[in-house]
Structure formats: C-alpha cells, structure tokens
Homo-oligomer: A and B are copies of this chain.
Amino acid sequence: MSILAVGSLAFDTIKTPFGLVEKELGGSCTYFALSASYFTEVRVIGVVGEDFTAEHENVLKRRGVRLEGVERAPGKTFHWGGEYGENVNEAITKFTDLNVFQSFQPKIPKEFLDSKFLFLGNIQPTLQVDVRKQLGRDVVVAGDTMNYWINNTPGELAEALKIMDILLINDAEAKALGKATNLPRAALNVLAHGPRVLVIKHGEYGATVFFRDGAFGIGAQHPFRAPTLPIEEVKDPTGAGDSFAGGFFGYLASQGAVTRETLKRAMFYGGVMGSFAVEDFGTRRLQNICREEIDARFQLFRDLTHLD
C-alpha cells in the first residue's frame, strides 16, 4: 500500500570530517521518501520555495515519489546548516532558516485521501494532528518528534501522540518524553500515554521496539531489537533516523499489515536503510541502491546476531 508522508523538504549545508556540501537536497521527508520508495509508493505533503528546481524534484520523481502534495510558495526553501566533529553522533546546528516552512499548512490533495499508511514527520504537533484529521478511519499512523516539541509544547505533543499507532524517536528523546533515565522504564511511560508501539533508535547500536501490552491483539510482549552493522566510515550521518523510518514504515506498508512479525522485519529494514544513508553525503546513496544490495545487507544484519 502507498504511504502518505508529511515533513520537511529542505536544503542542507553540512560539514563532516570527510568534507563539506552546500545547499544539498535534504529534509526529513526527502530522506524518508527516498528510503521508503524501495518498498512502496510514497506520496509527499510539503512545501518548497522558488529555489527548489526541477532537478531537485527529479531526484524524488526518479524513485517514483509522488509530489502532487508539494506546494511551491514564494520565497526560499527551508535551509539547515550543521557540522559534525569526530563524534558523528552529535550534530552542531549552525543555522536553521525555516523560510517557506515557517508558515507551512499541510493540505492533502483529493487523490491521496485513500492513503492507509500515514507518516507524520517531525513537524509541529498541532500540524501532525491536523493532517491526521484530513484522513478517514483505518489508517496506520507512524510519527516522529524531537526534543524541541517535548520541551516547549508538551500539551500539543500529548495530543499528537494519541493519534499515533507507532512513534519513532531516539534514546535521548525517549528519556525526555518518558521522564526516566532507564530506557525500558521511559518506554513504558511513553506507551502509557500514546502510541501502541514505540521504536527507540540507538544510533550505532541499532534500535528496539517496545509494545504496549495487548497491542495487535496479543498480550504482554517482549521488546525486539534489531542491530546495525558497525560501520567504519560514516561520511555524513544526516538523515540516518529518517532513512530508518523510511525503511521501517516502507516495509510495513508494503506488507499491508502491522503484526509482531512484520514489525520485526521492518526493524531490520530500518537499520539497513539507515546504514546506506550514512555512506555518502546527503541523500546521494539513497538515490541509487539496487534491490540486491538491500537484500544482501538485510542478510548481513541478520547474520550479525543470529545463532544457528
């Protein structure tokens, strides 16, 4: 089934120990869409400025991503600048020029109203709720958020969490949102108030999915963890989390059903796509992966923790 995804389309200026790129195509929704496009059709809701060219659009169109929901507004496209030092796990933000993204009001075109899988990228929680309301019932909703919303708009975020089936966040966000330094405890606290399924991303250590008791008609459930292969050369970690989300939700949508079994494989595909993303600057690697490479890496990740 197709995925409807809302989030940022942007330009990134990124410096890492491996080099510098300026105004490179980026944004959470771009990474998500490219990554998910290897599994299913992705329909994007977003906004770009006048400096977003046909060439930028073509990067997404070549992967079959549908852009009818992308509004072109007067002004410039969202532009983020960041730098990574020796510790590639931490980005230092140099500037955040929201530009046309500042007044973004997501609207779902009629032809996308039949979408059954919705991904709410990291945008204002009130906008996330607003997008959800534009679709009917029986939609599987996955979403992202960040510390900014956790700290500054907790009330709005609480409302957004209620409409999500699956929340994907990282360790630090989970601890802040769940108000606990112990991760499983934080996970339980988050699950008590919002999503039925919580995916916590551990960066180079992989990711763990926690379940609310009774999720998917099953009783108490143990968490499930998918590893990532230790990577020697992380050229640019930007978008790794969004690419994880794309592989994860893309696989789920391609299966058309959310069960413990599809979620387990989705966790592995998330790790696989995240590991491709960091191999080159921006979305470059995500633009040209072949199916055989995805399958081979899936097998590698599986072997990484599998006993015979």
Contact = CB atoms under 8 A, between A and B. Distances in A.
Interface in A210-262: 210, 222-227, 229-234, 261
A217 to B, nearest CB: 19
Interface stretch (A41-49, A52-60, A140-148, A178-186): A178-186
B308 A261 contact: yes
A188 interface: yes
Contact of A205 (B182, B202, B308): B202
Interface string A272-308: 0000000000000000000000000000101111111
Contacts of A229: 222-223
Interface residues of A, number: 40
A11 interface: no
A265 interface: yes
Contact of A303 (B202, B222, B227, B232): B222
Given A184-B232, A230-B184, A232-B184, A223 B304 contact: yes
What is the copy number of this chain in the assembly? 2
A222 B182 CA distance: 31
Contacts of A222: 229, 300, 303-304
A183 B204 contact: yes
Interface of A: 86-88, 181-185, 187-188, 202, 204-206, 208, 210, 222-227, 229-234, 261, 264-265, 268, 300, 302-308
22 contacts: A88-B181, A88-B182, A182-B232, A182-B233, A183-B204, A183-B230, A188-B232, A202-B205, A210-B230, A222-B303, A222-B304, A223-B229, A223-B304, A224-B305, A225-B227, A227-B227, A227-B305, A261-B308, A268-B307, A305-B306, A306-B306, A306-B307
